[in-house]
């Protein structure tokens, strides 16, 4: 298939595909007429990249998964390098969740303090 069809089937743009190609994530095969050519395996690579990016993985974090698929494995997470990326991402998410829980607790404490303290009164007897 040509680049436009691949982009359409993958739900992305030809510009994105060219970028992936420049980063070595997508093969740079050309037909005799110079047009880029792709196959179903390339679509599978793209779907893996897009899924991981939807989960918050950076483009470089997808590389081990792409390499795993290219090596002939049935899934991009069937290789040790991919599992390492999953582990690092989980640790990153756990740290982020911890920070968010801490911030949430601080905001809740401030709200409780703010609502338990009487509001200052204006000179004319109303609230500011």
Of the two residues 3 and 125, the one the predictor is more confident about is 3
Measured between alpha carbons, how far is 9 from 120 in angstroms, rounded to an integer? 61
pTM of the model: 0.77
Model confidence at 125: pLDDT above 80 = no
Buried b (16+ CB within 10 A) or exposed e, 20-51: bbeeebbeeeeeeeeebbbeeebebbbebbee
Q: What does the pLDDT look like over 12-48, one tens digit per residue?
A: 999 999 999 999 999 888 989 988 999 999 999 999 9
**59, 60, 58, 65: which is closest to 80 by C-alpha?**
65
- Euclidean distance between CA atoms 22 and 78, whole angstroms: 25
């Amino acid at each position: 298939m040509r680049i436009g069809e691949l982009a359409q089937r993958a739900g992305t743009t030809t510009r994105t595909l060219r970028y992936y190609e420049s980063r070595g994530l997508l093969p740079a095969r050309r037909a005799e007429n110079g047009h880029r050519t792709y196959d179903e395996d390339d679509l599978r690579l793209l779907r893996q990249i897009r899924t991981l990016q939807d989960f918050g993985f950076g483009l470089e974090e997808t590389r081990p998964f792409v390499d795993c698929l290219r090596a002939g494995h049935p899934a991009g997470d069937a290789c040790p390098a991919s599992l390492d990326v999953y582990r690092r991402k989980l640790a990153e998410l756990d740290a982020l969740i911890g920070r968010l829980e801490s911030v949430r607790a601080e905001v809740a404490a401030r709200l409780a303090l703010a609502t338990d303290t009487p509001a200052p009164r204006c000179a004319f007897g109303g609230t500011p």
